[in-house]
Each structure stands twice: as C-alpha cells, then as structure tokens.
Amino acid sequence: MKRIKNKFIYMLALPLVIVLGIVSINIINNVNGLSLDSEFVYDLSEKNYRKVYLLDDSNTLVPLTIEVNKKEYLVDEIYTVVSNLRDLKVKGFNNILESDIKINKIEINEGILNIDFSKEFLDYDKNIEEKIIESLTWSVMEFDEIKGLTISVEGETLKSMPLNGYSLPKVLDKSIGINKYSEMISRCNNCNDIVLVYSKIIDDKEYYIPVTRLVENDKYDFISAYDKEVSVLSGLNKVLEIDRLNNIKVEEDNMNIHLDESYLIEDNIVNSSIYELLSVMLYYNDFDYKVNFFVNDESVEVNGYSNMEELKVSSIRINEIKI
C-alpha cells in the first residue's frame, strides 16, 4: 500500500502525449439517471491547488478545491489553508472557524504540525464541535509533509473540546474519520472504517462528499459498504450503483476489479464512470493502486483512457471553486 504522493493537486497520471492537456469529464450515472454537474479534472500543469473543508447548511463537511499562490515556506502554505477555513466566502457554505479567531503560531516538528490559536477558538457552536476538528485535520493532512496534527490555545495543548467534551487523541490524523455516518455509533468486531464518496446538491450544484462508514472484515470491500442505503434526510445520493462488481482483489500495487458485463459500453470497453468513482474512493482511503478491470476474467479497457497500464491513482481534483 502506498500513500498518495500529492494529496492536494488532485491529478491522475496520464500519458505523456497529453501532458499539456486538461480534460474535464462529467460523470453520468447510467443506472439510476443521476447526472452530475461536478467534474473530475485531470491537470498536469504546475498550478498550486489546495483543499479546504467547509460546512453546508446541514453541517456536512464538503471538500472544496481552490487555487492558491505558491509559498516559499510550508508553514505559509498551511497558514493560507487554515485561514481559508475562517475567511473563505462561498455561497451555500459556512466557515468552520469564527472570524475573530487568530492563528498565533504554526510549527512543524518531525512531521507533526501544531497550530496555536487565540482564546476565541474555544468559543464556538457546540453542534459543530467534532466537525471543527475533522475540518482542521483533513485540510492540513492534504500536505504530504504532515503526518499528524496537534492543536493548542494560547500555548496550551488542547486535550478535549470544552463544550461537549470531544476528546482529542495525542496526535490527530485522518483515522478520526469525516462526516461519520450514524452507524459509526455502534462498533462491531472485525470492522474497519472506510471512506465512501456520495454526491449532494448544495445551492443547485452537485458536490462530492466523503463519508466514513463501517465495513466488516475487508477494508477494500467498497461493494458491500456502498451497497448500504443512506438516509433520505442526509441529502446524500450514490454516485453510481456498484453492486454489479463481482469482486475486488488487491495484489501488490494493483487493484483488480471484476465487473459484470453490464458495465461494458462496447466490446472490451468499460464505462469510465466506474473507474472515476473508485479512483476518488481510493484517494480518500489513502490507497495508491493501479486499477485493472476484468469482465469474464478478460482484461478490459476504460473508455477515454487509452493507456491503462500507465495509470495509477494519484490525486483527483474535485469540487473546484474559483476565488
């Protein structure tokens, strides 16, 4: 298993012949008629993209990709990201940090990032207590150099949040989950957390939403996990139905996915939507595999990807907004 090398530019490695190209592909759900306005954008330019996690009106954290100016020092890059959690104004979204919070200091020691906030950090809406921690953690963990996060207030390390008592581990990382589904309340033996990707309409636009759910035994079992229903009240929709995947096998750096014939759009060609959805979920679970598809045990190609042996999951830019 390899961690994704570049977590915030969101790119897939493409053949050299289109290095200067930018391709935008809309995902179409041919199964249930869901048409997504959001785009996967594959970009090999040297633009500097970062991801920030803001709240929608139902307190769901949404990753938003923004282009920011490249900074000479890593701490300045991180300061930009954390500041946007407080200052970025996007229609349909709410900031995770209050406007009067000051960022006193940012320090990195052996990959562990500490952010020291002013005392105003402790004055927040208790309904989003856990979301504050998730947003901060997932936003800064997009940096390859950062292996964990600690938070302090006026120089004193924060061990728990004051209003609801949400306990903080010694070092925060993505294992805390994001947008944890209600089933997370009841744990089970031999269960793993897995991040799945759904869609949600916010201000008349479709966004992709990472959600942490439980899967029994096999952490690669996207099939059974994604097959679970989601509450209508959550506002979440499945991007695709993937119950027709026969199985997923991981062998070294390869993820071999066996599909039902119904995914074929012509002989030996698979609809690209299934590849794109699985790529995003691999990204969110920190898996960097080369994805191979098979139908009836025969290798098949993905529509629009002429050189699959060159492709490995790296990073995918989603929910991009202009600022």
In tens, the pLDDT along 161-219 reads: 999 999 999 999 999 999 998 765 556 677 788 899 999 999 999 999 999 988 776 66
pLDDT digits (tens, 9 = 90+) for 86-131: 999 999 999 999 999 999 999 999 999 999 999 999 999 999 999 9
- Under 8 Å CB-to-CB from 164, ≥6 apart: which residues? 126, 129, 130
Please report which confidence band the pLDDT of residue 159 belongs to, taking 50, 70 and 90 as the band edges.
Answer: very high
Q: How far apart are CA 80 and CA 7, in angstroms?
A: 16
pLDDT at 291 over 80: yes
H or E segment and range at residue 74? helix 74-87
Q: Where are the beta strands (DSSP E) in 186-314?
A: 191-202, 205-216, 237-238, 245-251, 254-259, 264-266, 269-270, 290-295, 298-302
User: 3-state DSSP call for residue 182?
Assistant: helix
First-to-last alpha carbon distance for the chain, in angstroms, is 35
What's the CA angle centered on 277, arms 271 and 281, to 5 degrees?
A: 150
Q: How far apart are CA 35 and CA 23, in angstroms?
A: 18
Contact predicate 132/149, CB 8 Å? no
Residue 21 pLDDT: 38
